[in-house]
Amino acid sequence: MVPALTSSFIYDFELPLQNIGIVDRHCCSSCESELSLLRMADNESNTSSEKEIEMSIDALASTVQESFSLSKRHKFWETQPVSQFNDLGDTSLPEGPIQQPTPLTEVKHEPYNLSAAYELVTCDLDSEEVCSEIYTLLTNHYIEDIDSLFRFDYSKEFLRWALCPPGYFRSWHVGLRVKTSKKLVAFIGGIPAKIRIRDAVVLLAEINFLCVHKKLRSRRLTPVMIKEVSRRVRMENIWQAAYTSSVVLPTPITTCQYWHRFLNPKKLIDVGFSRIDAWDTMTRYINFYKLPEQTATPGFRKMEPHDVPAVTRLLRNYLKQFVMAPDFDENEVEHWLLPKEDVMDTYVVESPESHEVTDFCSFYTVPCSVFGSQNHSILKGAFSYYNVSTKTPLVQLMSDALVVAKKKDLDVFNALHIMLNKTFFSELKFAPGEGKLNYYLYNYRLKHVLRPSEIALLPF
Ligand SMILES: CCCCCCCCCCCCCC(=O)SCCNC(=O)CCNC(=O)[C@H](O)C(C)(C)COP(=O)(O)OP(=O)(O)OC[C@H]1O[C@@H](n2cnc3c(N)ncnc32)[C@H](O)[C@@H]1OP(=O)(O)O
């Protein structure tokens, strides 16, 4: 996963959006086909705010173009069963698995070899000690913005929740330790998930939280971590995976962007997350982002365990419209959506008349460590999860989500421009961030890149 702060996020409210879409369109023919695919992938824009989004999609296409123009080789990824850049636009290739499963007896049974200094281990998240070790590794070495002003600081509760859903495999939580000191210096985590891709339901691994200690970077440990987790996934007779990254690898199935709604504009300026124009005043800026004191929707309340069946029905119905979406059952909805303190918040709308649950919205919380501010050490971000409206207008539902996020003292509300999210950005004063998030499938080819609005998968 790669959330909002993967690149320096300084959004100038008056910056003409055109500035972020500068792309050299004459690099090479494969770039051209890639660019046209990405442009086609977001050709549904017609209103002016959607036009802006389309421009930012053009900007995203430039990332992939960069990787062509640098003729960047991917020594590891070129050997893996993933779509290669050259395959793009070749619609003669079939959609579906790239390699067929091999008999389980042929899957390597022993961990990959490393230099004598390191050993690959399974991390038991039930152990307080091991969970703390993973937490410490990620807190000190996981994703930062480009200026190293912020770094994600996933809590232990969050990590347990994200890595231990129903049916999880402990063996998919792979650590790398220094043999002598036993220090944990790298981690990669996987969880099983049923994902529907068009009509096919694929049982796959979602891979996340890949992290290598800063002192051990550029030593090709990443391919080892990936090969080891792949081996362990295959041992469970699972042959596909999904993952996201800000890094461009062969080959994104879509590229999208985080948008941000400031909840605590003054703090966001203090810590360098946003900036105020010279001509503007702090008072005007703060007033601009002011939210109502109370939610507007009658019957808006926290989700409770007895809502699970209704929320599952609403969610499953909603997810049908997307090309790629999870195939959640009630157990998974209970795990992923029931409110969990400082991790996940879900609010339902229960009709005051019929008591039927008609809508819900949800967001998870990830704090960031803040560096370089004298006043603040933590920034708390809400990340939009699934939002389903059948009776309450989506904009109103999301406005209520902002109100409760603000009441919880969260500083910024982030949302990817996937699913129907872009329909509420403009009205609710979301601004586009600079970070790009690429979605990938392992051992599964799609005939076409997808539009972000066709995707309903959420990385953490
Ligand atoms: C069937 C089951 C399959 C299951 C597996 C499915 C695949 C899962 C894939 C993993 C999904 C993870 C999803 C998330 O968690 S995305 C979050 C990634 N984590 C961070 O950004 C945290 C901070 N950064 C780090 O810890 C390091 O910089 C990392 C570990 C990212 C790279 O460390 P380092 O900089 O020291 O590199 P190296 O010398 O070891 O290795 C260089 C090779 O690694 C390739 N690389 C670099 N970054 C990534 C990346 N984010 N995904 C995949 N590959 C990546 C790179 O292109 C090169 O290969 P190639 O270009 O030469 O070919």
Range 237-253 average pLDDT: 97
- 316, with CB counted inside 10 A (0-12, 13-18, 19+), is middle
Architecture category of domain 9-33+93-247 in CATH: 3-Layer(aba) Sandwich (3.40)
Percentage of residues in the chain having pLDDT higher than 90: 79
> pLDDT tens across 363-381, in order?
999 999 999 899 999 999 9
Q: Ligand 1 center to residue 364 CA distance, Å?
A: 24
Q: Is 112 in the pocket of ligand 1 (CB under 6 A)?
A: no
The per-residue pLDDT for 6 is 33
Atom of ligand 1 nearest to the CA of 224: 40
Q: How many Å apart are CA 411 and CA 378, to the nearest integer?
A: 10
- CA–CA distance from 128 to each of 133, 134, 210, 458 (Å)? 9, 10, 20, 27
Average per-residue pLDDT in the chain?
87
* Domains of the chain, residue spans: 9-33+93-247, 255-454
Asked if domains 9-33+93-247 and 255-454 share a fold, the reply is: yes
Nearest to 119 by CA among 109, 106, 132, 110: 110
Q: How many Å apart are CA 40 and CA 451, to the nearest integer?
A: 8
Q: How many Å apart are CA 110 and CA 260, to the nearest integer?
A: 45
Q: In the 8-state DSSP scheme, what is residue 214? A: G
Please check the confidence at residue 12 and state whether its pLDDT lies above 50.
no
Q: How many Å apart are CA 53 and CA 412, to the nearest integer?
A: 20
Percentage of residues in the chain having pLDDT higher than 70: 85
Range 165-175 average pLDDT: 98
Q: Ligand 1 center to residue 210 CA distance, Å?
A: 7
Strand, coil or helix: 333? helix
Atom of ligand 1 nearest to the CA of 212: 26
> pLDDT tens across 20-39, in order?
222 222 233 333 333 333 33
Architecture category of domain 255-454 in CATH: 3-Layer(aba) Sandwich (3.40)
- How many helices (H) does the chain have, and how many strands (E)? 11, 15
| pTM metric for this prediction | 0.89
The per-residue pLDDT for 176 is 98
Q: Is 97 in the pocket of ligand 1 (CB under 6 A)?
A: no
Ligand 1 pocket test target in 153, 238, 245, 246 with most atoms within 8 Å of CB: 245
Q: Which residue has the tokens 């795990």?
A: 335
Phi, psi of 204 (to 5 degrees): -140, 180
Q: Is 207 in the pocket of ligand 1 (CB under 6 A)?
A: yes
Please report which confidence band the pLDDT of residue 114 belongs to, taking 50, 70 and 90 as the band edges. Answer: confident
For the chain, percent helix, then strand, then coil, each to nearest 5?
35, 25, 45
Q: Is the dihedral of CA 168, 437, 73, 187 positive or negative?
A: negative
Q: Is 223 in the pocket of ligand 1 (CB under 6 A)?
A: yes
Q: Is 192 in the pocket of ligand 1 (CB under 6 A)?
A: no
Q: How many Å apart are CA 384 and CA 414, to the nearest integer?
A: 6
Please check the confidence at residue 454 and state whether its pLDDT lies above 80.
yes
Q: Where are the beta strands (DSSP E) in 137-217?
A: 150-152, 173-178, 184-197, 200-212
213 within 8 A of 243, measured Cβ to Cβ: no
Complex ipTM: 0.99
Range 223-229 average pLDDT: 97
